[in-house]
Amino acid sequence: MKKFGKAANAPLLRSFVERISALPSLSHAAIEEAARALAAEAGVKLGDLAQPVRLALTGTLASPPLFEMIEVLGLETTRRRALALAARIEIEEAPS
């Protein structure tokens, strides 16, 4: 959790939610394309984006294929869980 629950991942999770929320269709292919584009723009590897998203959705770093899982879970569940992890990271990383 430490590596993927770090402060730098909170904005990445929020950007991912924004990106998939704007998709006309929540197909796994469209989600993957959006994730790859975001990772490239952010200057990170796809795995550095995918693992925090996976952690947010499942609570673990092992799961079924991520983009297919998002398609099945749907936008609202994905949004809620990803934003919840982003908020938790921000709270835990905030200076005391």
Return the pLDDT at 50.
96
Tell me if 55 sits within 8 A of 1, measured CB to CB.
yes
Return the pLDDT at 1.
45
Tell whether 1 is covered by a domain.
Answer: no
Domain count, the chain: 1
Q: How many residues does the chain have?
A: 96
Tell whether 59 is covered by a domain.
Answer: yes
Return the pLDDT at 92.
80
Q: Which amino acid is at 2?
A: K
Tell whether 3 is covered by a domain.
Answer: no
Q: What pLDDT tens digit does each residue of the chain (96 aa) get? A: 445 457 779 999 999 999 999 999 999 999 999 999 999 999 999 999 999 999 999 999 888 999 999 999 999 999 999 999 999 998 887 666
State which residues form the domain around 33.
9-93
Tell whether 58 is covered by a domain.
Answer: yes
Number of H helices and number of E strands within the chain?
5, 0
Domain CATH number, residue 58: 1.10.10.350
Whether this model's pTM surpasses 0.75: yes
Tell whether 4 is covered by a domain.
Answer: no
Tell whether 33 is covered by a domain.
Answer: yes
